[in-house]
Amino acid sequence: MKRVIHFHSFLLLLALGSLQVFGANNATHESIKLDKRERAFDKSKNELLFQGPTLEDQIRDSYYDPKFDYSEFTGRVTDRDKTASIIKVSSEMRNIKFFRSGDKVRFRLAGHSTNRCTGFVRSVEKNYFVLYVKDITKCWGETSYLRRGAMLVFESDQLAARVLDASNYRIILLKRRRDYLKQLNDINHFVWSFDQERIKMASEFDEKITALRQAKQKALDMLNVKKEDSINLQRELSYRLDKLDKDLEFYRIDKDEPKVDRWHLDHDLGKPVSKRPVDLKYRDY
């Protein structure tokens, strides 16, 4: 009987081993497919990264050269009023956009190192700014005429300071733009690769579900094996207990005195006994 039990257990364990090998092969196959999908996913993510000038190149483009004099630039008179107190100047220097109303500006006629005039910025527009000069005759002379188209050389320490601040602030803006682009790239990648992300997540959960089902089936099969072994063992133990009970009954020692045989024996010996055998009175020992 034990050989039969062990043989059935061996067959069931062999079937479980085959099932585990089959499940392991499937899991390995699914893992290889998932690795391929992940590599393709990462490759597509890298391809979506911002392609353009690096942050270092952009910062280099915003480099502030301390050896360069940003306070001096040239401009040309495009318009003026009759008294020459209000002068409109055009300039190719793009840094004039940093001018603010009230900024102090010194200027002179190009080619002349003397007669510097002082003016104050009134307004700024693209490639133009307007100056207010309180009394241009003090630096220009009463006989000189400020004609339209005259080339002027300007100096402004406030403009140079603002250029330095603007250069530093632009670096901060470039770093902020890089961070925004990275966030936007991640969001775009998620939106564009949503189906791929969903397939990847579904595959991961499918693998977990498959592994859980295999573990469940293995546990149930082992429980069935234990049940069959327990039933067989129960039958074997019941048989042995019955046999043991018979042996115990057979080897029981009887301490009772015989009743009828004892009366006949005393009667044959001629001892005084009653006519009929009486029940013995046992005493407690």
Q: Go through the domains of the chain in sequence order and give each one's CATH number.
A: 69-163 (2.40.30.20)
Contact 119, 99 (CB under 8 A): no
Contact 174, 62 (CB under 8 A): yes
pTM higher than 0.85: no
Percentage of the chain surpassing pLDDT 90?
A: 36
Residue 37 confidence class, pLDDT cut points 50, 70, 90: low
Relative to beta strand 151-155, strand 117-125 is unpaired
Which range scores top for mean pLDDT: 4-18, 92-106, 263-277? 92-106
Contact 167, 59 (CB under 8 A): no
Nearest CA among 158, 159, 131 for reference residue 146: 131
Distance CA 121, CA 104 (A): 7
Query: Is residue 240 over pLDDT 60?
Result: yes
Tell me the chain's radius of gyration from C-alpha atoms: 56
Nearest CA among 93, 100, 88, 138 for reference residue 117: 138
Which range scores top for mean pLDDT: 8-22, 29-43, 138-152, 228-242? 228-242
Residue 80 host element (H or E)? strand 72-80
Token pair belonging to 44: 């597509």
Residue 285 confidence class, pLDDT cut points 50, 70, 90: very low
- DSSP states of 175-193: HHHHHHHHHHHHHHHHHHT
257-275 per-position pLDDT tens digit? 555 556 566 666 556 656 6
Residue 111 confidence class, pLDDT cut points 50, 70, 90: confident
Torsions phi, psi of 243, nearest 5?
A: -65, -40
CA-to-CA separations, 230 to 9, 223, 238, in angstroms, rounded: 12, 10, 12
